[in-house]
Amino acid sequence: MATRGSKRRNEYDIIEPIGKRVVIRKDENKRETKSGIALPDSHEILVITGRIISIGKEIENDDNYTINQYDKVLFDPREAIPVELEHDNKLFVVHIDRVLAIFRRSEQRKPGAAHGSDATDLPDEETGPDASDDA
C-alpha cells in the first residue's frame, strides 16, 4: 500500500481503462526510415504504433475482439488521452475504435519448434535433421 509522501507522482502505478478502451504505451518516434531517409522534426505522423498495456473489461469479456495485452498496434492518436505515470513513459488511453491494426507474426512455423523459440530464426540447414551429421 502506498503511503502519502512528498512524491505524489508515484502514488499511482496502475491504470485500468473503463469500457471499450485500452491503454497503449507509445513507441519511440523514429527520425529515420528503414532506407535511411532522415525525417524532419516538424514531420507530423497521424498514426503511431505502441504496445497494449491494459485492456478494459468490456473488451476482455467480448469474444469479437482479438486484441491482447502486449500486442503491438497501430492507433490514431488524435482522440487519445495522454497519461504520464512515470517521467519516461508515454501512455495513452484509447477507445478501441481508434486502434486501427494489430501487428501479428505469421503462423508458418517449423514443425516441432516451440512457440517463441529462437530455433525458428535459424536457417534450415542448421535446424534440419542432418545438422548433427556434419560434426
Report DSSP state, residue 58.
H
Assess whether pLDDT exceeds 50 at residue 127. no
Domain ranges of the chain: 15-30+43-106
pLDDT tens string 90-119: 899 999 999 999 999 998 765 655 554 444
Pick the CATH number of 15-30+43-106 from 3.40.710.10, 3.90.1150.10, 1.25.60.10, 2.30.33.40: 2.30.33.40
Q: For 107, left (φ over 0), alpha (ψ -120 to 50), or beta?
A: alpha
Beta strands in the chain (DSSP E): 21-26, 48-55, 72-75, 81-83, 91-95, 99-103
pLDDT tens string 2-33: 445 445 555 788 889 999 999 999 887 666 66
pLDDT tens string 49-77: 999 999 999 999 999 999 999 999 999 98
- Quickly count: other Cβ atoms within 10 Å of residue 88's Cβ: 5
Structure-model confidence comparison of residues 56 and 1, the more confident one: 56
Alpha-carbon gap, residue 112 to 38, rounded angstroms: 42
